[in-house]
Amino acid sequence: MDLKHWLSSLVSRRGKALSLYRSGMSKARNKDYLGAIADYTAAIESPHIPADVKGMAAYNRALAYAAINEDQKAADDLAAMLTMPGLPENILREARQRRERLRRRLVKEEGNG
C-alpha cells in the first residue's frame, strides 16, 4: 500500500469514527438513547478516534445509559474514562462529578429498595 492510499484510508476511518460520535449526539438529542448508545459504542471501539473524542463518546454514552436507568453501565463508562490516557482535565473532572452523582443515586435507590 502506498503512502497516499494509507493516509487516505486513515483519514476516512478517523472520519467515520467522528461521524459515529456526531450521529450518537444527534440521536441522544432526539431521545433515541439506544441508537445513541450503539453509535457511541461503535465510535469508542474505533482504533482511529482521537483520545478526547473517545472520552466524550464514553461520557455521552454514560449519559444515555443513565437516561434509560442503566445506572451501573453509566458508572462503568465513567470509571473507564478516568483511566483513559490523554483526556483533558476538564473532561476528567466532569466524569468524576457525574460518577459521584450516579453513585449517590445508586446508594439512595438501594436504601429505598
Express each pLDDT in 102-113 by its tens digit: 888 888 877 776
CATH number at residue 33: 1.25.40.10
pLDDT of 98 > 80? The answer is: yes
- pLDDT tens-place string over residues 34-83: 999 999 999 999 887 888 888 899 999 999 999 999 998 999 999 999 99
Q: Does the global pTM surpass 0.85?
A: no
The count of structural domains within the chain is 1
Given the C-alpha cell 478516534, which residue does it identify? 49
Stretch 5-21: mean pLDDT: 69
Find, among 85, 35, 37, 88, the residue nearest to 58 by Cα: 37
pLDDT tops 70 at residue 15: yes
Domain extent at residue 92: 3-112
Do 59 and 99 meet the contact criterion of CB atoms below 8 Å apart?
no
Cα gap 100→17, rounded to integer Å: 29
Is residue 5 over pLDDT 70? no
